[in-house]
Structure 1
């Protein structure tokens, strides 16, 4: 497997015993065969080729394999997220869409199929193969949201849901290609204000003969899945307080802190400074409420801590 490091902050919170949290680099499957079982299922089309997501060596972000959704118009794979109705949940993965091809994914309210079939958050990339590099999230609380993405290279998808007050008060945010597309605190509803029954899964559908895309490196967790390209992260004596923070965040370490960076959950860098002390502070009073990651460099080691801004 190619050398790659991703920080996934993982804790255990099981609201559904079968699907709690997972990572999937797509390396455990057989090239050229359909993928079923565990967190991979389908939208009632019976499994097998022409229904389930396929394992392929045509493209891979890491390792040798990825998942493939062809242009057969029948493949309708589902990533089962366990029908969450409480807690905080995050998913991250990567997509690759060749030039002159389109793609479709959708968040689902329950897995298996719900009778109500909540019609929100249809995400189309290069819809009808007429708008390369442009996508749209349809039927959200903010209406239809346009975004950009690159063809012929891997790019990230990150979604975060806050269901701590119950699904009927859920909010979410989303980032595509390291750009924030849906801001934190957005109600997790359709454009009429209707909430789903739960956080069921992600649908990967072959929407047309021009459909052609790959997916890889999944993380589903009850804490934000932050993806940062970095050489290494070694644990050291380091503290950040108070957490949650309202105004001033204090940082201290046994070793000299050489650099500090702050990221959103989508990996967007908001702050960067050089340093040469073992203790310092950052004024976060102007930051919006939400979750951030503080990355601290100390010599040859790095540490990342999740900070809640109130």
Structure 2
């Protein structure tokens, strides 16, 4: 009976299909803010995930997307009275009720036209698109192309001053003085003709360019001169004017570490000085005519200055628009790595997220690795960083890594840490203090996206296929037989099964240590990209560009489990914590769903705070928890006891060596006081 009882405990999961529902967690907040428009006390922000509204000066935001297609990228917003127009990659949307509902108004616009700019003059609405300038005189009900004289139809910006309409294009500035019926190029003096932004103050016209800084014309665009003194970045995304103050939102190459931020000129552009947000790509700036300045950034969300730019604070509560790239579990904590917004931590199942970026030199966080709760490693644009206090502070551990390394994968095996980078593979045997390149057999400068370990074998998923090392990375051999695409995105191991996802070939399975691979794409849509995999017993979850898929038969077939997710949600990361599965999405933050709602039931929620690391292990592992350990029992898959000990002095940390047992799945039973908890461990 005792053995039967143990087997019952070990049978952790039961399948019973029922309806399910994903729910968005409360963050992480932020993401791309492409445009901002202000109408009295209402502030609208256009994002990669629709429109958000704040009615309390940015303190809180709420999505106002009824009628707007899911995952719509909003490039432009313009307000006229009670009417709001949103320019998107799918055309123009219109709302007459403060954004409560929207309708598409695309009659006359080319299909799939990207609307980059909107401007209003009287009854005329101008739309700058990837196909030229379009005009509507009936509230967007119909549009007419007005591009006579335009020598380039990619329009980034539009500004209007009385009867003059200026359009910033991919090859200069164009002027129309007859409501768009004809255009004339006015670019004399422009040494850079990619014009992203235009702002007008009296007779002065300012043009912000991509790579050439800011230009000023005081004669209706007939002659331009550069006014860049004090600017540290000449990539100008946005311009805004409030009285005598001219604000410029700058940046660099998208998502990079180039200097950027907000600059202010008090003398018509003769001089500029930085006001803050250095290192941010500032895509949009808006002012309500007071000293309040709103700045929308690339993946950093909304910032507000109450004193004309002297000080800035982040105001993102409610903007669920982050690009989550990685998720990792450490005890009861969930770490989320984002592109552009840094690292976040939730200690309450996603109910709240806290930014944990202190010490990180980049906001692009690609991966995490947990040695124990006191050693957390992050792979970022800029190398490897270590936190010894749950992410509160980070310090670089980069000695031996090339400068500006992008670390896409981190794996810990006993005393070794393996890092997959854009320059190949690296190994540290001293907690990251020093790194050594281990690239013999790998193609030169190959990009390593994923690393997994199975026993003595290390597998690296690269842009050149899967490679295996059996000697701690000293040499590598390609194992690509059967792979129809060699750009490998992820690797996951479950027992003797190795799963590899590729860029264009879908998902592959190897059951013989990588010697051969077979496609397992039955049930996936055509052109499905598998970005992440997580395995729970016999259940395999795949995060894709079409949401989440589930297989209960080792990948032989897949079915969608997307109820509650927006249509066509890209899922970059998946983790399981307790009774929930969490999904990190592109431009939607983190979502969660109860495993039981998908027919996967846990017999008991784990609230033990027990940590076993490393797991998988070659045999040696450590058990730690917050309470004193009374006894430790290790069971094999049949419920037989193979190890038993009583820790000395009721200690909270115990090291165990089971390197003598066979490889496979085992269960660790930990008793502390009147409580008993069971944890799974894999010995490779």
TM-score bracket, shorter-length normalisation? 0.3 to 0.5
Higher Rg of the two aligned structures: 2
* TM-score between the two structures when normalised by the length of structure 2: 0.20
